[in-house]
Amino acid sequence: MTVIGQSHELERHARGAFVPTMGALHEGHLTLIRRAKNLAGNAPVVVSIFVNPTQFGPGEDFSKYPRMLVKDVELAMAAGADVIFAPEATTMYPPGQNVETPPLPDVATKPKLEDAFRPTHFAGVCQVVARLFDLVKPRWAVFGEKDWQQLQVITAMVEQQRPRWEDLEIVPHPTVRERDGLAMSSRNAYLNSSQRKQALALWRAMSEAKQEKSPAQAELVMRTILDESGFVVDYTVVRDAATLLPIDRYDQPARALIAARLENVRLIDNASIGGKP
């Protein structure tokens, strides 16, 4: 196990499996690392830990985002990581050097979901992920379905930029949940005990929405449950699973997506809906 901070030290660890994270690792991240280990075989498993300032908007939680590098290194190592890349901001964004943001694919700008509520978010995500792919040079990169729009954005970005990262494969991994259905998230640490109970409404909303016959009815059911549970709702939608554009009926793979706030804690979740994966 090696913890490295300088990008040139990554050269020996190229062509393996990569899991980018912002740290505060939980079982969701660790499952991704185990998946990476399976994909990599004898090739290296690289985990990055970097709280990327450029993907946080003004007034978001960048400064209070949980940071616990020593514990994270231990957990990542136990899950199968060979190398932890934990750079300083100046390594990722060297002063005086312009680290480009790749052109954003349509799924980062057209759906009006995270792109509308966090207008600079995907530019920051694409900037940091492109930079990480350039430095780490992985053969596989594992991303969680928890951040569904992000997963579609990264997948589209890689296709759009081929052959920049050669045969890099974006590998999706299902959302890991607590026993009661709440999606694991580093931000769950912000919830107090009554908010933790309220947070279950996201899972309940998606489960009930699956019983409905149309996307419109499913959207309404989710909205009602979240309103009644005391959330301020950003969106409850059912969309085409890949483009994230609106749909009228279930004749293509569809996804239910939620973003909602409890005071200053913003939670997102999503699930397959409509009978097709």
The residues annotated with a catalytic role in the active site are 29
Per CB under 6 A, 183 contacts ligand AMP: yes
Pick between residue 187 and residue 210 the one whose CB is nearest to ligand AMP: 187
Per CB under 6 A, 144 contacts ligand AMP: yes
Per CB under 6 A, 186 contacts ligand AMP: yes
Residue at token pair 């489960």: 207
Residue span binding ligand AMP (CB under 6 A) among the ranges 37-45, 181-189, 206-214, 226-234: 181-189
Per CB under 6 A, 84 contacts ligand AMP: no
Closest separation between CB of residue 34 and ligand AMP, Å? 11
Closest separation between CB of residue 17 and ligand AMP, Å? 13
Q: Tokens at residue 111, please?
A: 């759906």
Exactly one of 3, 17, 32, 221 binds ligand AMP (CB under 6 A); which one?
32
Distance separating the N- and C-terminal Cα atoms of the chain: 37
Angle CA 257–259–261, to nearest 5: 160
Q: Tokens at residue 243, please?
A: 């483009």
Angle CA 107–110–113, to nearest 5: 85
Closest separation between CB of residue 79 and ligand AMP, Å? 12
Per CB under 6 A, 33 contacts ligand AMP: no
Binding mask 236-275 for ligand AMP (x = CB under 6 A): ----------------------------------------
Exactly one of 173, 223, 239, 266 binds ligand AMP (CB under 6 A); which one?
173
Per CB under 6 A, 131 contacts ligand AMP: no
Angle CA 82–69–119, to nearest 5: 100
Exactly one of 2, 175, 243, 272 binds ligand AMP (CB under 6 A); which one?
175
Per CB under 6 A, 133 contacts ligand AMP: no
Closest separation between CB of residue 22 and ligand AMP, Å? 4
- Footprint of ligand AMP (CB under 6 A): 21-22, 28-29, 32, 143-144, 146-147, 173, 175-176, 183-186
